[in-house]
Structure 1
Amino acid sequence: MGVLFEQASARGRTTTIHLDRPFDIAPETGLRHDVTALAELVRAASGWWVAAGARPGGRVAILKDDHWDVDLLACAAIRAGAVPAKLSPHLSAETASALLKRLEPDVLVTSPRVLGRGVAEGVDLASFARTTVSTAPAPGTVSLDELRGSAPPEPQRRDDDAPLIITHSSGTTGVPKLVVHSTRTIIGNLARFEALPTPVVGLRRDDVVATASGYAHGRTFSWTAATIAAAPAEIVVLTSQDPDRVDPLLREHPPTVFEGLPSAFVRFKPLTARLANPFRRVRLFISTYDAVHPPTLRAYLRASGRKHPVWLDGWGQTETGPLTFRLHHRSSVQRRRARAHPAGRPVPVKTRLRVVDPATFHPVRPGEAGLVLARTRALCLDYLGETERYAAKKRGQWWNTGDLAIRGRDGSVHLVDREVDCVAEGSCLATEDTLEERLPHALECVLLARAEHPPLPVVVTADGTLSEHAWRHACHGLPEMADPVALTWDDVPRTGTGKVRRLALLDRLTGSTDTYGTGRWT
């Protein structure tokens, strides 16, 4: 990964990259780049890391404003022999400081905005590294401008099974885990598989690939490797979830492949109804991170002008990468009622799944709900600083996902809920699917499980209101729920990838974080 862009440039790759805002680490370079320019930027940045004190085998932390240059900095750190850790700028200062304490980084790269938020919360984030570098001048830091021109080192190589990169889990239920991956797990078993010229879902040389992701997540690291290796014609990088801001760039470079956070698909949904909608050329939509509900899938598949557009839906974890996949077509996302959310089938060749009783760990029969265990060569190496927690989730070669699911007789997997988020009757995910079908004006529906109480429905709307008539229609025939709470999008606490922080929201609304599930495997 340290020489990814250099090797692509040497092979004559001609991919053009378009940004919705300049890189924070090179604002003077503008909005348009090619692979050769990015190779030079990564090479130069490796010199910045060394000049700041990064050592081969040492850890460096990247905690800056969300942009694809987070992955460029990670590649540069790897080139210099260090192990980068990508941290989300959406973490609270308290949470970020807890992760930085575990990391003990030689160098921290951050930004004035992130540092300022830390100060506002009473935390000096710059104090957790031997050297803190800021993308713009900030008190107590080394400005990135002071490091420009430093001599880049020769590329440093490491064993395929040695730590390559550290990312973190979403943190929906508390302080995130620091997930350690190697070259073999995240590149050899994830990115290389994705880069294969697979029919329908593989990238092509004439594709325009757009992404609206969370760039501190491990997904964008493997996406970077696979996409640069596949060498599509163009790459469009979006950092904003404001539909009016991204619309001009998407219309100027209409994508043929579009990947986004579930929250990005929700926020961009109004664009699908515009006359010159920017998704008219998309042949392949890709969603990861979290469930996307059927009404959203339908809106995008209808917006495509292709005869047979496809939606690739993946379920997995930061620790494992994708575990299942499902292909949706226009005809496969018609209105229907289900007792669980379909997740698809295990990734061929790469993944094996078991569904077991949470108490005994004995296999359950097809059609019964149980805890999902996964076996994959892409499993991460460890949780940094929490090895006992990592070991507690392994049963021999099997990984405890902490998710409840139903295995069909045909081998398909239907997600019920995270165990910590489960309810006594039914499935939160399936109920949310139905509520979003019946409340077309809702941006999102969230069902919060509670101990000794009916689950609490939260309906997110543009103005934070919900009529009593609409709710009576929506909840008809569904399991018992408490009276709904209507909120706006910004009222809901979220992770860096747009997931609802369910425990934080439950605590805010009820003053308690007691759920029906045990939370033993979070």
Structure 2
Amino acid sequence: MSVHGLTLGDVLGEHRRGRPLGLAVVDADVRLTYPRLDERVNRLANALAADGVGPGERVLWLGRNSFRILELLLAAARLGAILCPANWRQSADELTFVLDDLRPAVVVFEESEAAMQARARAAAPARWIAAGEEYEAYAAAGAPEEPTVAVTPDLPVLALYTAAFDGRPAAALLSHSALIAHAMAMLHIRQMEDGFTYLDCGPLFHVGTMMFCLATFQLGGTNVFTPAYDPKEVCRLIEAERCTQAFLFGPMIDQLVEANAGGTYDLSSLRFVAHSPEWDAMITVDDSPWCASTMGGYGQTEVGGMLTFLGLAPGGQGYAGRPSPLVHVRILDPAGDEVPPGETGEICARGATMFGGYWNRPELNAAKAAGGWHHTGDLGRREPDGTITFIGPRLRMIKSANENIYPAEVERALKEHEAVADAAVIGVPDPEWGQNVKAIVVLKDGASLTREQVVEHVRSRIASYKKPRHVEFAASIPKKGYTPDYDALDAAYGGGGYPGR
């Protein structure tokens, strides 16, 4: 082991020594100090090793938020293995794809109809362990000593499936060193201090929640887990655990204000961004660079979360701020040359927080890393003051309720219906959620479908939040070459509100 190396397992070991009374995890009745978490992680790692989990092997979590996600991640970290927390909201078809693509050695799951269907369909063999009593017995059977596996910081430890630009999701692989580097950048911008308590109420399969979970862990703070977002329960937990930060955005905050009408709960421990007079009166409005800049910037899973921060550019011209101190950003043209300030090109980056490529996607990895830069697939420009403006995806993306939805994935599901001859998807503005999905559908001669049938068909194949809320039937789809003419579709069917525009 190099004296310069540091893994997530090392961070946990240091917290065990340096924070023997520190509370690491709260999840319902589960309350774990760092020494207790360390022991459980060792036992779990040794149990996984007995099932053949070692360097490079994958462990899959199928379920809602739980302290077990962090526990499994740290156990994988001590074995040189990789944890993937899957999107539990996905359909059986989508989960089957993940199982066959990732080929995990062990799956820890919460029972659901989609998970059980995927288990029956998946071709890849795996050891399945039910979360709860079976998981507890499984972990308890492992030895308490730390595994003697040589793990280097450059090894991937976390896999997060990204939304599908081309209709097929891919798992971005993030290493120990990338996650630690990103956590350190978050600690700086958010000005996280000793005693920081984070409420994991957003999905942990999403980098937006995971990046704060890991930054809190890096600091030696407390992660409070709740299975899914519920306004009253979130209010209760903020008061009970004196939470400092949580995964929240506009509509969620409005729901908390409604749930706490009359001041039933004391939310003053929450140091958060200003939002409305009612909200600001309930919390402590935070003046850190992260919150003072409305938590803005530009990021994606492949960069560990955030690539640029508004908090590093107060008053700057660019809507995305300045890059993290641990990365370099360039705006490149299709030939790989940097464009002058003020001109639009692809946002490209390299540095300490970059991912190591996608699982089992060699051709995509080569394209993404062309010229020694990570090509984000997003357009931006460098402003005269050096800040960055995010323009939008090179391939069109819809953003609804903070979820990224790619037309190609929804269109693929639409076209799988035997009555559909062609289809295209656009985003239409929504005052509460940003955008909604609208499908434009061309039926085969003699076929008939209702709007409700179209929506249900898509819901049966992909996650429900990706389904169209609006359906229009048309005689044809305007094209640019072989692809839909999305500008013409937007003009004809009321599209707009795309991120960055």
Above 0.5 in TM-score?
Answer: yes
**Partner residue, 2:143:** 151
Say if 1:35 and 1:389 are closer, same or farther in 2 by CA, change over 3 A.
same
Work out whether residues 70 and 216 of structure 1, in 8 Å CA contact, stay in contact via their aligned partners in 2: no
**Partner residue, 1:130:** 126
For residues 243-284 of structure 1, what are the alpha-carbon distances to aligned partners after superposition, in whole Å with 9 as ceiling and x for unaligned?
022211212334333344677556545457653565434334
**Partner residue, 1:26:** none
Say if 1:510 and 1:152 are closer, same or farther in 2 by CA, change over 3 A.
farther
- 2:158 is paired with a residue whose SS is strand
Q: Structure 1: how far apart are the matches of 2:114 and 2:276?
A: 36
Tell me the CA shift for residue 65 of structure 1. 2.8
Say if 1:111 and 1:172 are closer, same or farther in 2 by CA, change over 3 A.
farther
Say if 1:125 and 1:46 are closer, same or farther in 2 by CA, change over 3 A.
farther
Work out whether residues 108 and 126 of structure 1, in 8 Å CA contact, stay in contact via their aligned partners in 2: no
User: Is 2:176 the counterpart of 1:201?
Assistant: no
**Partner residue, 1:248:** 236
User: Is 2:15 the counterpart of 1:8?
Assistant: yes
**Partner residue, 2:114:** 117
Q: Structure 2: how far apart are the matches of 1:48 and 1:447?
A: 38
**Partner residue, 1:213:** 202
Identity score, percent: 21
Counterpart among 454, 462, 486 of residue 516 in structure 1: 486
**Partner residue, 1:435:** none
AA aligned opposite 1:343: A
Q: After superposing the two structures, state which structure 1 stretch, 3-12 or 307-316, moved more.
A: 307-316
User: Is 2:307 the counterpart of 1:323?
Assistant: yes
AA aligned opposite 2:237: L
Which TM-score applies when normalising by structure 2? 0.71
**Partner residue, 1:304:** 283
Counterpart among 358, 366, 383 of residue 341 in structure 2: 366
Say if 1:461 and 1:305 are closer, same or farther in 2 by CA, change over 3 A.
closer
Work out whether residues 209 and 258 of structure 1, in 8 Å CA contact, stay in contact via their aligned partners in 2: yes
User: Is 2:430 the counterpart of 1:459?
Assistant: yes
**Partner residue, 1:347:** 324
User: Is 2:360 the counterpart of 1:385?
Assistant: yes
- 2:198 is paired with a residue whose SS is strand
Tell me the CA shift for residue 72 of structure 1. 0.9
Q: Structure 2: how far apart are the matches of 1:78 and 1:444?
A: 29
Work out whether residues 449 and 455 of structure 1, in 8 Å CA contact, stay in contact via their aligned partners in 2: yes
AA aligned opposite 2:182: L
Tell me the CA shift for residue 500 of structure 1. 6.2
- 2:94 is paired with a residue whose SS is helix
Say if 1:384 and 1:276 are closer, same or farther in 2 by CA, change over 3 A.
same
Q: After superposing the two structures, state which structure 1 stretch, 79-88 or 174-183, moved more.
A: 79-88
Tell me the CA shift for residue 456 of structure 1. 4.9
Q: Structure 1: how far apart are the matches of 2:132 and 2:297?
A: 37
For residues 402-454 of structure 1, what are the alpha-carbon distances to aligned partners after superposition, in whole Å with 9 as ceiling and x for unaligned?
112233211222222222227xxxxx88xx9xxxxxxxxxx899999999999
Tell me the CA shift for residue 44 of structure 1. 2.3
- 1:97 is paired with a residue whose SS is helix
- 1:211-290 correspondence runs (5 A): 211-218=200-207, 223-232=212-221, 234-260=222-248, 264-265=252-253, 267-268=255-256, 270-271=258-259, 275=263, 278-285=266-273
Say if 1:300 and 1:68 are closer, same or farther in 2 by CA, change over 3 A.
farther
Work out whether residues 312 and 322 of structure 2, in 8 Å CA contact, stay in contact via their aligned partners in 1: no
**Partner residue, 1:420:** 395
Work out whether residues 85 and 160 of structure 2, in 8 Å CA contact, stay in contact via their aligned partners in 1: yes
- 1:60 is paired with a residue whose SS is strand
Which TM-score applies when normalising by structure 1? 0.68
Q: Structure 2: how far apart are the matches of 1:34 and 1:307?
A: 28
User: Is 2:154 the counterpart of 1:161?
Assistant: yes
Tell me the CA shift for residue 92 of structure 1. 2.4
Say if 1:328 and 1:151 are closer, same or farther in 2 by CA, change over 3 A.
closer
User: Is 2:378 the counterpart of 1:403?
Assistant: yes
AA aligned opposite 1:323: L
AA aligned opposite 1:345: R
Q: Structure 1: how far apart are the matches of 2:255 and 2:164?
A: 22
Work out whether residues 165 and 406 of structure 2, in 8 Å CA contact, stay in contact via their aligned partners in 1: no
Tell me the CA shift for residue 509 of structure 1. 6.0
**Partner residue, 1:437:** none
Q: Structure 1: how far apart are the matches of 2:218 and 2:98?
A: 32
Q: After superposing the two structures, state which structure 1 stretch, 88-97 or 271-280, moved more.
A: 271-280
AA aligned opposite 2:125: A
Work out whether residues 407 and 413 of structure 1, in 8 Å CA contact, stay in contact via their aligned partners in 2: yes
Say if 1:509 and 1:246 are closer, same or farther in 2 by CA, change over 3 A.
farther
Q: Which runs of 5+ in 1 are unaligned?
A: 23-29, 286-294, 333-337, 423-427, 433-442, 466-484, 518-522
Tell me the CA shift for residue 370 of structure 1. 3.0
Say if 1:14 and 1:147 are closer, same or farther in 2 by CA, change over 3 A.
closer
**Partner residue, 1:288:** none
Work out whether residues 156 and 174 of structure 2, in 8 Å CA contact, stay in contact via their aligned partners in 1: yes
Q: Which runs of 5+ in 2 are unaligned?
A: 1-7, 412-422, 437-450, 478-482, 488-501
Q: Structure 2: how far apart are the matches of 1:344 and 1:491?
A: 41
Q: Structure 1: how far apart are the matches of 2:254 and 2:464?
A: 12
For residues 180-221 of structure 1, what are the alpha-carbon distances to aligned partners after superposition, in whole Å with 9 as ceiling and x for unaligned?
22222222x3234444xx4x7221124343332322345655
Q: Structure 2: how far apart are the matches of 1:181 and 1:133?
A: 25
* Number of residues of Structure 1 aligned to a counterpart in Structure 2: 433
Work out whether residues 48 and 152 of structure 1, in 8 Å CA contact, stay in contact via their aligned partners in 2: no
**Partner residue, 2:169:** 176
Say if 1:96 and 1:254 are closer, same or farther in 2 by CA, change over 3 A.
same
- 2:298 is paired with a residue whose SS is strand
Work out whether residues 331 and 339 of structure 2, in 8 Å CA contact, stay in contact via their aligned partners in 1: yes
Q: What value does the CA root-mean-square deviation take over the aligned residues?
A: 4.5
Say if 1:211 and 1:119 are closer, same or farther in 2 by CA, change over 3 A.
closer
Tell me the CA shift for residue 102 of structure 1. 2.5
- 2:320 is paired with a residue whose SS is strand
